[in-house]
Amino acid sequence: MTNLLMISGDRSLAAGKQGAFHNTLSELRKHFDRIDVICPRVAVVRYDMSVFGNVFVHPSPWPVMFQSLWILHEGQRIARAHHPAIATVHEYAPFYNGLGARLLAKTTALPYLLEVMHVPGVPLASGIRERLYRWLTRMCIAWDARPALAVRVINEHQTPDFLVAAGVPREKLVHIPAFYIDFEVFKPQEAPK
């Protein structure tokens, strides 16, 4: 087995919550010797930043506007100490995770893949913030994805179609559904007859 670095915007694990990210890691940890998770700052920092014995959480001590620099700083330390084979990057506007991963890759040669779970405002924006983030994604995602090995998407059509239209090569997209969803509970409704 090997080590994995995850660059995430999900603060729930650092806050001690046991949501979807916790469930994902409860399974993913079985396939790696060690997983390090870099995430943004949380309001209340727990003392124990490890779960499952081999997952270690590294919340930033800095405001989110400096998150790219925290990813570079902490990522370099993790790379020297634990030699992850690859990094996964949960990416979304305003792209501080991808920028941090790009800087980290340039200084450590650590390969990474982007994970675009959804694009705010796609298929329909609910407000000005989602319209802004949709526009930012359209403008930046091709540049953001260029150095990544691949771009993971969790749906088959809306996100990939948007990313391709924004300039991400289709051959770079990899469809891997969210495996932590219980499909016995969450399933498409039958069409009315």
Question: In terms of residue numbers, what domain contains 52?
Answer: 3-175
Q: What is the pLDDT of residue 6?
A: 98
Give me the percent of the chain exceeding a pLDDT of 70: 90
Average pLDDT over residues 59-75: 96
Domain for residue 24, yes or no?
A: yes
Domain of residue 94, CATH code = 3.40.50.2000
In a domain, 181, yes or no: no
Burial class, 36, CB count within 10 angstroms (exposed 0-12 / middle 13-18 / buried 19+): buried
Query: Residue 178: pLDDT band by 50, 70, 90 thresholds?
Result: confident
- Using alpha carbons only, what angle is made at residue 146 by residues 107 and 122, rounded to the nearest 5 degrees? 125
Average pLDDT value for the chain: 92
**pLDDT band at residue 1 using 50, 70 and 90 as cut-offs:** confident
Categorize the per-residue pLDDT at 193 as very low, low, confident or very high, splitting at 50, 70 and 90. Answer: low
Within-domain flag for 184: no
d(CA 123, CA 115): 18
Residue 144 has pLDDT above 90, yes or no: yes
Least confident of 32-46, 62-76, 78-92: 32-46
Domains in the chain: how many in total?
Answer: 1
Confidence of residue 63 (pLDDT cuts 50, 70, 90): very high
183 falls within a domain: no
Is residue 35 one of the residues assigned to a domain?
yes
**Which pTM value belongs to this model?**
0.89
Whether 115 maps to a domain, the answer reads: yes
pLDDT tens column, 84-137: 999 999 999 999 999 999 999 999 999 999 999 999 999 999 999 999 999 999
